Amino acid sequence: MKLTDLKKTVEKYSNLISPDIIFGICLTESPHTEQDIDINAIRYEPRFRETYVVPLGLPLSSEILLSFSYGLMQMMGESLLEVGYFYDFFNHNKDLLNLDKPSGEVTIAKGINHYIGNADIQIQWGIKWFLRKLHKAENDIDRALLLYNGGGNPNYPLVVKSNMKLYGRY
């Protein structure tokens, strides 16, 4: 995806948050060049799986899919479950795709397939997740960024803010 197109997509959905923050998160989370960013980026997170996903007691295929981060904002599959993405996907597609339940194996697999490669959906749900973190951090951007990233990198807010400065370039 062209970074100019990413900027337009971010601006389209950033009515509740400054778009440069979301743009900065995308540049921090997904591989990119001077012109393009990888909309299909995925990353397996084994420690996240053990800590947050295994205790859910889901079937193995769902457990694995929810243990990856996806797309422009590298949303964890489990975070998509928590923020309601799979429930929304289920409600819009249950008859068309013959889905059985919002957290079912088929719903999660097809929901991830729908999520990957769709910048609009990735940005919409990434913003919803970040706004939850911002609320939890009492509107402190640095704390919200640490919560978004899981707190493993204390420099994460500095990296995002550095990437935010590139927003005006595109």
Output the pLDDT for position 152.
83
- Taking the alpha carbons of 86, 14, 40, 31 in that order, is the dihedral positive or negative? negative
Output the pLDDT for position 98.
87
Output the pLDDT for position 168.
87
Q: Is the pTM of this model over 0.85?
A: yes
CA distance 63 to 69: 13
Report domain extents, the chain.
Answer: 1-39+118-170, 40-116
Output the pLDDT for position 100.
87
CA angle 12, 14, 16 (to 5 degrees): 140
With a pLDDT cut of 90, the percent of the chain lying above it is 91
Beta bridge partners of 76: 69
Give me the half-sphere count of Cα atoms (radius 13 Å) on the Cβ side of residue 129.
27
Question: What single string gives the DSSP state of each residue in 35-101?
Answer: SBB-TT-EEE-HHHIIIIIGGG---HHHHHHTTEEETTTTEEHHHHHHHTHHHHHHHHHTTTTT---
Q: pLDDT tens digits, residue range 120-154?
A: 999 999 999 999 999 999 999 999 999 999 878 99
Give me the half-sphere count of Cα atoms (radius 13 Å) on the Cβ side of residue 62.
21
Q: pLDDT tens digits, residue range 24-64?
A: 999 999 999 999 999 999 999 999 999 999 999 999 999 99
Assign 113 a pLDDT band (cuts: 50, 70, 90). Answer: very high
